[in-house]
Structure 1
Amino acid sequence: MKGLLPPPGAVRLLSIGGLVRTTGFGIMTSISVLYFTRSVGLSAAQVGIGLTIAGGCGIAASVISGRVADAVGARNTAITLVLIQSLAVCGYAFVTSFTGFVIAVSVVLSCHSAAEAARGALVAGLIPAEGRVRARAYLHSVTNAGLSIGAVSGGVALQADTQGVYVGLILACGALFASSGLLYMLLPQVEPVAAPSGRGSWEVWRDRPFLLFAGLNAILAANDTVLVVVLPIWIAQQTEAPLAVFSVVLIFNTLMVVLFQVRASKTTSDIPGGARAMRRSGVLFAVCFALWAFASGQPAWLAVVALLAGAVVHTLGELLWGAGAWTLAYEMAPDHAQGQYQGVFTMSTQLETMVMPVAGTMLILPAGSLGWLLFALLLLVAGLAAPAVARRHTNRHTNRQGTPSWN
């Protein structure tokens, strides 16, 4: 249990704040669709369109907030964004039209994505380089725990299905977000780092190795939506396994990430180590998707075995992908531009939330097992390409001491 608790100081405060904020986000996610369709009277199509627009705004906001964090400091940026998000969430209670819904949800999701980028820069500003990935691992663990607690709490409260309960939960979410922002005020101030002369305002967009890494990360990040969106439909429509097996897969995945993400972060300590972890994650994701493809057409017992085996392999891949991606995101970024680099990294991680629900349901599922295998090949190639991209970065930075090991 000792290894599960964040160390005292900045990491623990960030983790507590993250747990509070993601619990609120989990509650909000679990109730918002039903609230806007059943209480506000929006159609499912309107809610879907509004969430898509908001998702696009969030992706753009993550990059902008990173640049702001570089200019004015990551701590103040994160606090401001979380407090604005808390007010916008409370604004859900006053939405009466589609336009109001789009505005409110766009502000909420924009602040959520932007705060993620600012928090990444905040970790870089508060934590020494050798401890940043471990800090992100703690934050990822509490994120999974918070989202699960929030989702369960929201699901229980939904049994009442009344407008009063919905509004009460919305206001509670706003209070949780505000509390998270206030906790961040206990953290030390992070002053902006002066950029060397001759550097432009948007340095990250001229860093081709980092942009290539972000592209590979966007592909590997698709594993998440495949797990939560594509897999349950595949189990229900194309396998003989009971749908309840999906709940087992999700619970197992959540518990393993909470318990072992910090331990997995110990496997990466530099750019070569991060690249190797991403390479291995691509291999594991490919094996996982092949197992899930195999489940189709098999007897129920064999389908269950294949699905659960795939879940184990997927979780191992997710643990390595997270540790490897965080390592490269921090180590490839210059100290004076951590905000904008973490913003682009956050954007790459979240891009799949807009693309994959459509790609998964319209490309992977209709193609059946072949769709799974082609997607497995895509993630395999992305993982295998990571060391080459990372090596290209190190070759451009000859001022680094020592020769990294790429074995």
Structure 2
Amino acid sequence: MGSRLFTSLWASQLVRQLLPTLTFTTRRQSLTLCGFAQSLNYPGHLVKLLNTLVPADFRAAVTWPVRRFYACTFINCFGFGLILSLFVVYLHNVRGFSEGFATLLLAVSSVVGLATAPLWGTFIDRFGPVRVSLVSSVLDAGALVYWAFVHTSLEAFIAALMLAVVGGAGWGPGTVLMARLVAEEHRQRAFGVNFMLVNLGIGFGGLVSASVVDLHHPGTFEVLYVANAFIMLVGAALFFTLLSYGGPVNEHHDDPKLRDEGWREVLADRRLVRYVVAAVCLMLGGYGAIDTGLSLFVVNNLHVSVHSIGIIFFFNTSTIVLAQLSMLNRIEGHSRARILALVGVCWFVFWVILASALALPKFLAIASICVAMVVFAIGEIMFQPVGNAMVNEMAPEHLRGRYNAAGSFAWGVSGTLTPALTSIYFSFHFGNWWPIGTGVTALVGSAMMLNLRRSLSAKEDGRVAVA
């Protein structure tokens, strides 16, 4: 998710889409906003649309704890949006470090985050997702404040390592808690709504950041990093109110066999291992490459203005926010492995369109990339809910933290490998072939996901309703 341009259109559309999920409760009755819309004489087709986008059974599953969870997601991602994509710019343009030092530090941070992820997964299983999230958020906030005022290479290195170690927790605590807050049959939809709020929060944060940040005033960067630290603590305080739902799992302690289980059993699960390998290929042909090389390709190979990048990402993120709920209805009950394979196909189509833009005039090239970003977004809104639901369907409760840490391994690997792979293409003047090579990687991931389907039960693959 690179630098994205947002408008208030998304906020109004999100309110219209989420109306059914909110509930006004009095002592005598619970009145959903669908009924509220009817009481205000809204057109019947609007009420029908609301009921279609968010089915009644899912609205009932969006309890008060789930709403608090969603509020935490938006708050934290708004703060993250304030500083997204500022890492290298902050070090090089503001603090005066070389580009080589900045990119090297970014790569080292990715490796450290990847190496610490298994440890965080173990902590989640042992202490519960809420406590782990609280500790990681407090440490992250402290590291952000320190990072905001670094002036020497040693200070930058220490701060980056602190952020990387804490960042190893990733989305793990939240994913585990969401799996506990909603019933199995609603997890896929719940993860999808959460992903929509992730993008909305980052988008609004990015909009605020764009209006504040100024390369000629280093203080603006300091304000953004400190603001993110404060917002993170606010989100952590709200998240802590869910402690009763996110404690450690103790039931397995009475069983000697289950009590001794750990990463050995997780890595012995061939379904999970095959999923992670396939997801790595998808990510190398998806998010990782987008974040690492798209801006470089657009500016240097298509010779398009850097200002067009914001417009391009606008189409991507607006598609996610506007289409997520509808897509969740379309994929419900279908094979998760096949849906993930379709993700790879969507991303391959994206890269083909991007490569084709080389032969187009600048205006048409920009237009074609905007269309391509819509296609890429369609893959995103399938990948996020389906991948998380599949991993959590495989996971036994007492190992859920470790399973989710392993499932997120693809993010760390792609974040570590794609800068090197992208550098090879552009350093040896094969940049025009970068889109096709990356797209083929996504197709390999698709083939591996289809092969994974044979190892999954119908329930794990999402082909049957969960009782």
Q: TM-score when scaled to structure 1?
A: 0.88
1:192 to 2:254 alignment:
no
Say whether residues 1:351 and 2:413 are aligned partners: yes
Check whether the contact 1:267–1:273 (CA below 8 A) recurs between aligned residues: no
The letter for the 2-side match of 1:3 is Q
Moved more, 151-160 or 68-77: 151-160
Tell me whether 346-355 or 157-166 shows the greater mean CA deviation: 157-166
- After superposition, the Cα gap between the structure-2 partners of 1:296 and 1:288, relative to the gap in structure 1 and judged at 3 Å, is same
Q: Output the CA distance in 2 between the equivalents of 1:228 and 1:213.
A: 22
The correspondence of residues 105-116 of structure 1 with structure 2, limited to 5 A, is 105-116=160-171
Q: 1:349-397 CA deviation, whole Å, 9 max, x = no partner? A: 23212211221242378435544323322211211321321321439xx
Indicate the residue corresponding to 2:389 in structure 1.
327
Paired position in structure 2 for 1:259: 322
| Deviates further, 46-55 or 195-204 | 195-204
Classify 1:268/1:210 alpha carbon distance in 2 versus 1 (closer, same or farther; 3 Å). Answer: farther
Q: Please list, as runs of the form range in 1=range in 2, the aligned pairs for 1:256-405 lying within 5 A after superposition.
A: 256-269=319-332, 273-363=335-425, 366-394=429-457, 404=463
Q: How does 1:1-400 map to 2 (within 5 A)?
A: 1-4=15-18, 7-37=62-92, 40-159=95-214, 161-189=216-244, 190-193=246-249, 194-195=251-252, 197-199=256-258, 200-202=261-263, 203-222=265-284, 223-239=286-302, 243-269=306-332, 273-363=335-425, 366-394=429-457
- Closer, same or farther in 2 for the Cα pair 1:275/1:401, shift >3 Å? closer
The separation in 2 between residues aligned to 1:137 and 1:113, in whole angstroms, is: 22
Q: Is the 8 A contact 1:268 1:327 kept in 2?
A: no
Contact 1:239 1:296 survives alignment (8 Å): yes
Structure 1 residue 82, shift from structure 2 partner = 1.0
- Three-state SS of the structure 1 residue aligned to 2:400 is helix
Aligned partners of 2:332, 2:256: CA distance in 1, in Å?
30
| Distance in 2 (alpha carbons) for counterparts of 1:401 and 1:229 | 33
Query: CA 1:3/1:62 → structure 2, altered by over 3 Å: closer, same or farther?
Result: farther
Q: Is the 8 A contact 1:292 1:307 kept in 2?
A: yes
Could you say what secondary structure the match of 1:17 adopts? helix
Greater Cα offset, 46-55 or 280-289: 46-55
C-alpha contact (below 8 Å) 2:394/2:460 kept by paired residues: no
- Work out whether residues 51 and 102 of structure 1, in 8 Å CA contact, stay in contact via their aligned partners in 2: no
Query: Which deviates further from its counterpart, 219-228 or 340-349?
Result: 219-228
Give, as a single letter, the amino acid of the residue that structure 1 aligns with 2:75.
V
Q: Is the Cα contact below 8 Å between 1:240 and 1:303 reproduced in 2?
A: no
1:208-230: CA deviations, max 9, x gaps?
A: 22111011112212312333432
CA RMSD in angstroms, aligned pairs only: 2.8
Mapped partners of 2:222, 2:126: distance in 1: 37
Query: Could you tell me how far 1:345 is from its partner in structure 2?
Result: 1.2
Following the alignment from structure 1 to structure 2, what is the Cα–Cα distance between the partners of residues 126 and 227? 32
How far apart, CA to CA, are the structure 2 residues paired with 1:108 and 1:233? 26
Identity of aligned residues (%): 20
Counterpart of 1:153, as a letter, is: V
Q: 1:241 to 1:121 in 2, by over 3 A?
A: same
Q: Deviations over 1:310-350 (max 9, x none)?
A: 22221212222223212212112222211001111122123
Whether the aligned pair in 2 keeps the contact of 1:27 and 1:169 (CA below 8 Å) is yes
Other structure's SS at 1:295 match: helix
Report the TM-score when normalising by structure 2.
0.78
Q: Secondary structure at the match of 2:151?
A: coil
Aligned partners of 1:156 and 1:130: how far apart in 2? Answer: 42
CA deviations over 1:25-72 (Å, ceiling 9, x no partner): 222335444443455443332222222222112122222111111111
Matched residues in 1 for 2:389 and 2:122: separation? Answer: 20
The amino acid that maps onto 1:169 is L
User: Counterpart of 1:287 in structure 2: which amino acid?
Assistant: V
Structure 1 gap segments, 5+ residues each: none
Aligned length: 400
The answer to whether the 8 A contact 2:347-2:376 is kept is yes
